[in-house]
Structure 1
Amino acid sequence: MPLPSHRQAQPWLFLWLLCVSLSPALAQAPSSGAPGRQLTVEEAFLNRDLQPQNLRQLSWIPGSNDELAYLRPGQNGQPDELVRGSATGKDLTAVVSQTAFAEALKAAGAEFRNFPTLQWRDASTLLVTSKNQVYSYDVKAGKASRLFGYDPAADNVEMDPSKTRVAYTKDQNLFISAAGRENEAVTTEANPGIVNGQAAHRSEFGITKGTFWSPSGSKLAFYRMDQTMVSDYPLVDVSTTPASLKNIKYPMAGDKSHEVTVGVYDLSTRKTVFLQTGEPREQYLTNLAWSPDEKAIYLAIVNRAQNAMKLNQYDAATGALVKTLFEESQDKYVEPQHAALFVPGQPEQFIWQSQRDGYNHLYLYNTSGKLLRQLTKGNWIVTDVLGFSNKNRDIVYSSTADSPLERHTYAVSLKGGTPRKVSQGTGTHNTTLSPSGSYVLDNFSSSVTPRTIRTIAVTDGKPQRLLLTADNPLTGYQLGQTKLFPIKAADGSTDLYCRLITPPNFDASKKYPVVVYLYGGPHAQLVTESWLGGSNLWMQMMAQKGYVVFTVDSRGSAHRGLAFEQATFRQLGTVEMADQLEGVKYLKSLPYVDQSRMGIHGWSFGGFMTTTMMTRAPGTFKVGVGGGPVIDWRKYEVMYTERYMDTPQENPEGYRQANLLGYVPKLQGKLLLIHGTVDDVVLWQHSLDYLKTAVDNGVQLDYFVYPGHPHNVGGKDRAHLYKKVTQYFDDNL
């Protein structure tokens, strides 16, 4: 999510003073009361020029002396060029122009018009892929050569750490490709119900992929997912005549789940062994990590009830269980999302992330399973680990220690002690660590700062080099004012953070309609101290049209700790609704809010919450638009639903209360439901069931589908979607 003219005299100091002058509890984005352009839906979603300027393909160069590189736009008709420079200097060196790069690649057999996606293999070699062919470019010689190719039908392509080979999937099988060994089959499974090398467990527990290269690339671990016991679920493709059927495997809450094992393929012997993960087969295998010497694999095993986890060590050569290092349990659920991170130069020590004390923190363990020390502690969470610095004596991480709305970078010694703050300025710092660990590349924004990119020294937090200060891309547009502030939750004590956008030329003596945008579920935070307060341009457009636009992150949403998230356990929708109603109460306290003209909109979990608010708190909102909504949690996937609701057999009352079919007769006002016809996340059946129940009960509602779209409506059709949403509010609110 895209979540920079320079000031020559200490620009970092000016920026820091500007940012710290804003209170994180009541930050305000810039507003414009002067006449200006009005946003359109097309501009809000399709015009990239309205996003803050960025540096394309900005990255550290591995193996360099802390050099970085990015694509610099050409001037006066000149082609773009790749440039590089140090973390601390002022000069940039041209690596290659777009024209010269294209010519070198053409000589090697590849065709490019613009710069493709680049990877640095080392300080003097670039890698690019064209039509499933991998090429290297020698920066010093200015020449390119083909390395190897792989199947044009490849999916889930992952390059190994040495950047000399790739793993990929095709249909249900896994392959590797390297110079002299192109398209070599790792698996030869004939049954399409058994899938190799793809993300398992429907990408829960931090799982984003299905292949895991060893540090040298000599071995490849992979998921083998047996779905033969899971019922088929039909998706209908209406783009063919007659329409065609595609069956997917979709394990629903309370039903039989798939069974997963982990294979280890040795590229030298061409043989595979499987980790002996044991019984029961219905368990979750997560957070896979290789030991630095490639002799062991560390794997978190979560039971189906998701209230207990074991970190196991396996022999990578035989698959045998070596030992369980430690276990964790919670009365509600555990949710490990990060693999063990080994300390460079200390192969017997690793960092483990855990929420065991109620907040995600860092723990230093040895490979005997002994806890050496807890490295971070407090009523805040670690959101990311960047790596190691100070000759691997410190670990660098991002956290919410300053505020749940902000992200800052810190370093702490592996020997323990007080963390040292690295980033400066109130807002959101997205940082990456340099090869030596001496500097971070800081991509910063706040409610008043579109984007600033600079390097910062890890040792003392001093800015070293200003790379970009983005101009406000919305200067020519008339915007309202965006405010961030807390209110109290329904429990009377917990802070909930809100974002309120008022129309341009705001007049407190007038009455304005309101649109509430919400999500409310796990793993999402909508209100942040970042550009435009985390809002999008559609929300700013709605404010231009004369709406007050409001969002509150209710209990159950992300980055506030276990108690905040687990408040919704076994009763999805209930606590979130109570907190959203506190937001409504706040809105009704504002003299300029028209209480009779309030609308609500959300997608996915937000679609569930929109429909919840329209029927479990009938009369609160005049208009609702719910997209891709979960209606009956019994029909949602096993891993997600059972974590937050337990099984339908264990929690029948919770499922009954959250099932929105039971509230259809209570609907008041206008409700539009929207769904993609091939949604494989929230199945189309959810909203169809709701529609059928409405018909059975004589309840009128509106309905719209996007043929051929999955869970999210993307591309140019997204503009169509939000024209539909906007028009519905304009017509009915």
Structure 2
Amino acid sequence: MEEKKLRHLTLAAALSLSTCLSAPLAAQSTETAPMELTFERVFASPGLDGPTPRAVKLSPDGRYLTVLRNREDDRERYDLWAFDREAGQWAMLVDSKALGTGRELSEDEKMQRERARVGNLKGIIDYQWTEDGTGVLVPLDGDLYLARLSGDVVRLTDTEESELNPALSSKGRYVSFVRDRQLWVGEVGADAQPITPKEGEAIRWGEAEFVAQEEMSRHTGYWWSPDDRWVAVERFDESMVGIVTRAAIGATGTKVFDQRYPVAGSQNAKVELFVMNPDGGDRVEVDLRSNQSPDYYNAKDPDDFYLARVDWAPDGRALYVQRQNRQQTWMDVLKVDPSTGASEIVLQEEASQAHSGEGYWINLSDNYRILDNGDLIWWSERDGFGHLYRYLGDEGWRGYQRLTKGNFVVTKLVGVNEQDGHLFYLATSEDDPLEQHVYSLDLDAEGPATAQRLTEPGFMHSAKMDAKGQTLLITRSSDNSPPQTYIADEQGNRLAWVEENALDSDHPYAPYLASHRPVEYGTIEADDGTPLYWEMVTPELEPGKRYPVYFYHYGGPGPQVVNKGWDGALRQAIVDKGYIWFALDNRGSANRGVAFEQPIYRAMGGVEVRDQKAGAEYLKTLDFVDPDKIAIDGWSYGGYMTLKQLQADPGLYAAGISGAPVTRWELYDTHYTERFIGTPQADAQAYELSSAIPDATKVTDPLLIIHGMADDNVVFENATEVISAMQEANVPFEMMLYPGYTHRISGEKISPHRYNTVFRFLEQNGVTPPE
């Protein structure tokens, strides 16, 4: 890559810049004639969003800033770059193509990447600084390398098997990884040895079980103590977990995998936790089963719980474990003596009942921090919104101080500067839930602290900090500005760009600025009066003409689709084809509080369908919308929503696209499904009402089903069940299946194929722009 095309600023140059916002996109849009975006260009390289750095980190001494940067000629391949903050220079630290072997990853690593949502990436996808700041541990093509700042690269492993979950110990003395279901440890530069036994195909050490990876955002199964004295290691036995025979049907053959997949209502893996020395000696089992409340845990099966989170105290003298009951309505925080494994409950959290009617669940979070003095910063939805609290002392954490309060949601604990007494967090704006900002507050203030907003209005922000909470790394974007990443001080003042990504004449998106259309936002009311936010992008409207609508939806818990961040070029490509883009966040979506999310509890496929229907009915009132040409499209939960919407309201929509849908919730995994709908044994009626199979024959509108034939998340049986039901009833539909693809069907060639298929389907069914 040429240096001039990187558009990076040196520290000195960055400091000379004013801190004003980027010029509006419309002002930067010059006299160039509009160019229509094609799906082929949307997914080609270089990416139209501009450079997209990942895994931005600071070296332990703060001198170097490192980042994974994708290539201009291959948007999915990442190399490791370093910025010397003293010299003000960028340099490539590790070239993934030059160093990589091209060796195929093991099936275990492929599946881990799928569950971490990075299965499409190539090259370097993660790395870790050494404690002394002289180098970084780099996993690449299934092996491990130690890259020194001097330019030397030492290969640490060279095996056919992949080294999973690689990590340096806290002090950097040891390198560790999982290979062949065992945890391996060795001093840096020496050969690693397994420190856990090999116990057969169904027992794994040092890994996270399937539901932890897929649904709990816990991707590791071992944790080093701060002083390198101990390592806590998960052991799980999945011999009791049911097997789904997954046929990874490819273009030139089929591989059959017997995948342990815990479907709703079935047994989970048995999870245990041990503490041991770096050589595997002095192993003790952590008591995870004591003091289980009979009101929340399964008295007949004390192993029927979830290991949610594991953390060491800053001084390494205690281990803290978050234990969640199977129903996900209760959580215990256990304090563990690492020398004996004995545990005691020091904090308990119950699902919020505030404004929630019949019940709620605990949303797992990483928004907590154990301070050096033993205090705990803790995130909870107990008052109906996600907020931060400070528990005093570590001997039970009984008393607490409230840190944030209001009708907004704290979405991330960004960092804590314990020396200066400042805490930093990310939250939705109380005035506008479609924006997120970085805030700080004084931890040592007497009485309630006043939060200070550190970021500019008009943007969506994300942020992270160094371990000491001294430097902010902020990414911002808006409808008119692709993501920009910069370093800021504790007051939010920008010190240097990590990636300015300015929409200038050299930007990949520059040829399409002239046709870039603005986004409009608004609200409509749900049937109970709740405001529902929507977003809309229209082509340049001509008087008297009516336009078709591409109505995108997700609908399930978790994502917030409607926000004021950059939404990429795909939306504009659809608008360029003459369609109106429309999306609406129904009740059940995230970042609006408990009362907004709770209505789907034990009622999936109900309130979401009604809310999306309200969006369609609103569209039909607009004089520039063709009421007979509203098409819906969704993926995963959104694919499920497409089926339920077409079944509930025949004739309301002109056509529907159902991508990788869950069709019967008994086929989906325990942790996700049971959180919202209970078990098939205890809540059979809820499962029956939520299923997309019984009413499959009620679909009368054109339907296109899309599914990857090697999907290990929403297994292919979900598609075959609804396909079979419609075929047996002689109900017409269309389908597009992708051999060899999992739940993520994406790539430079395959993504355009998918979207061209969608729009050919719409055209064939008359959902077309006006002449």
- TM-score scaled to structure 1, two decimals? 0.87
**Which residue identity lines up with residue 707 of structure 1 in the other structure?**
P
Aligned residue among 521, 542, 564 for 1:485? 521
Aligned to 2:337: 315
Q: What are the residue-to-residue correspondences of 1:288-687 with 2, within 5 Å?
A: 288-330=310-352, 331-338=359-366, 340-343=368-371, 345-346=372-373, 348-365=374-391, 366-368=393-395, 369-389=397-417, 391-402=419-430, 403-415=432-444, 416-434=448-466, 436-458=468-490, 460-466=491-497, 468-472=499-503, 473-477=508-512, 478-503=514-539, 505-531=540-566, 534=567, 536-687=568-719
Aligned to 1:51: 49
Q: CA deviation at 1:187?
A: 2.5
Contact 2:536 2:580 in 1 (8 A): yes
Q: Aligned partner of 1:52: which letter?
A: G
Task: Answer whether contact 1:527 1:551 (CA < 8 A) is retained.
Answer: yes
CA contact (8 A) 1:500 1:551 kept: yes
Counterpart-to-counterpart distance in 1, 2:634 and 2:29: 25
Q: Among residues 182, 188, 210, which one is paired with 2:191 in the alignment?
A: 182
Whether 1:720 and 2:753 are equivalent positions in the alignment is yes
Gaps of 5+ in 2: 1-6, 73-78, 101-122, 290-300, 353-358
CA distance in structure 2 between the partners assigned to 1:429 and 1:446 by the alignment: 9
Are the structure 2 counterparts of residues 336 and 133 from structure 1 closer, same or farther at C-alpha, using a change threshold of 3 Å?
A: closer
C-alpha change, 1:514 and 1:410, in structure 2 (3 Å) is same
Deviations 1:227-279 (A, max 9, x none): 21122110124459884431111122122232211222321553432211125
Change in Cα spacing, 1:693 to 1:155, as seen in structure 2 (3 Å) is farther
CA-CA distance at 1:127 after TM superposition: 2.1
Aligned: 1:14 with 2:20 = yes
Q: Is the 8 A contact 2:368 2:413 kept in 1?
A: no
* Pair 1:681–1:31, CA change in 2 (3 A): farther
Question: Matches of 1:431 and 1:621 in 2, distance apart?
Answer: 40
- Provide the secondary structure at the position in 2 that maps to 1:665: helix
CA–CA separation in structure 1 for the residues paired with 2:259 and 2:428: 39
* Paired residues of 1:622 and 1:668 also in contact (CA < 8 A): no
Q: Is the aligned partner of 1:84 residue 2:74?
A: no
State the shift of 1:692 in Å. 1.0
The one-character-per-residue Cα deviations of 1:22-53 (angstroms, maximum 9, x if unpaired) are 9xxxxx99989974222121221233341134
Q: Secondary structure at the match of 2:192?
A: strand
Change in 2 beyond 3 A, CA 1:194/1:162 = same
Taking the aligned partners of 2:536 and 2:28, their CA distance within structure 1 comes to 13
| Offset of residue 190 of structure 1 | 3.0
**Match status 1:68 vs 2:69:** no
- In proportion to residue count, which structure has more strand? 1
Letter in 2 for 1:193: A
Go from structure 1 to structure 2 and tell me whether the alpha carbon gap of 1:138 and 1:261 turns closer, same or farther (over 3 Å shift): closer
Cα contact 1:64–1:122 (8 A) shared by 2: no
The 1-side partners of 2:555 and 2:720 are apart by 23
Identical aligned residues as a percent? 28
- How far residue 667 of structure 1 moved from its aligned partner, in angstroms, is 0.8
Q: Distance in 2 between matches of 1:685 and 1:266?
A: 44
The AA in structure 2 aligned to 1:417 is A
Which amino acid counterpart does residue 577 of structure 2 have in structure 1?
K
- State the partner residue of 2:288: 277
Residue 111 of structure 1 aligns with which residue?
none
SS of corresponding position for 1:476: helix
More moved, 127-136 vs 604-613: 127-136
1:209 aligns with 2:209: no
**How many residue pairs were aligned?**
697
Change (3 A) 1:516 1:74: closer
Task: Quickly say closer, same or farther: Cα 1:356–1:128, change in 2 above 3 A.
Answer: same
**Residue 482 of structure 1: how far off its partner (Å):** 3.4
Check 1:34–1:495 CA distance in 2 against 1; reply closer, same or farther (3 A cut).
farther
Find out whether 1:689 has 2:710 as its counterpart: no
Check whether the contact 1:261–1:277 (CA below 8 A) recurs between aligned residues. yes
CA displacement 1:282-302 (0-9 Å, x = unmatched): 111112111122232211111
Of the structure 1 ranges 49-58 and 195-204, higher mean CA displacement relative to structure 2 is found in 49-58
Partners of 1:664 and 1:693 within 8 A in 2: yes
Give, in angstroms, the shift of residue 62 of structure 1: 2.0
After superposition, the Cα gap between the structure-2 partners of 1:10 and 1:400, relative to the gap in structure 1 and judged at 3 Å, is: farther
- Residue 34 of structure 2 is aligned to residue 36 of structure 1: yes
User: Given that residues 227 and 259 in structure 1 are in contact (C-alpha distance below 8 angstroms), is that contact kept between their aligned partners in structure 2?
Assistant: yes
1:708 alignment partner in structure 2: 740
| d(CA) in 2 for partners of 1:662, 1:450 | 44
Instruction: Decide whether the 8 Å contact of 2:667 with 2:718 is kept in 1.
Output: yes
Opposite residue 463 of structure 1, the aligned amino acid is R
Mark the CA change 1:181 to 1:489 in structure 2 (over 3 Å): closer, same or farther.
farther
Contact persistence 1:288–1:339 (CA under 8 A): no
Q: Which residue of 2 aligns with 1:249?
A: 260
Question: What is the alpha-carbon distance in structure 2 between the residues aligned to residue 526 and residue 147 of structure 1?
Answer: 43
Distance 1:670 1:94, change over 3 A: closer
What letter corresponds to residue 286 of structure 2 in structure 1? L
* 2:184/2:192 contact within 8 Å kept: yes
| Deviation for aligned residue 1:54 | 4.8
1:265–1:48 CA distance, 2 compared to 1 (3 A): farther
Counterpart Cα distance in 2 of 1:283 and 1:123: 39
Residue 154 and residue 657 in structure 1: after superposition, are their counterparts in 2 closer, same or farther (change >3 A)? same
Shift of the 638–266 alpha-carbon distance from structure 1 to 2, 3 Å rule, reads: same
How far, CA to CA, are the matches of 2:709 and 2:142 in structure 1?
31
CA offsets 1:676-721 (integer angstroms, 9 cap, x no match): 1221211111111111111221211112211121111133422322
Decide which of 164, 179, 197 is 1:156's aligned counterpart.
164
CA contact 1:223–1:262 (8 Å) conserved in 2: yes
Question: Paired residue for 1:260, among 257, 271, 278?
Answer: 271
CA displacement, residues 533-581 of structure 1 (integer Å, 9 cap, x when unaligned): x3x4232211111111111111111211122111111111111111101
Match for 2:237 among 226, 237, 241?
A: 226
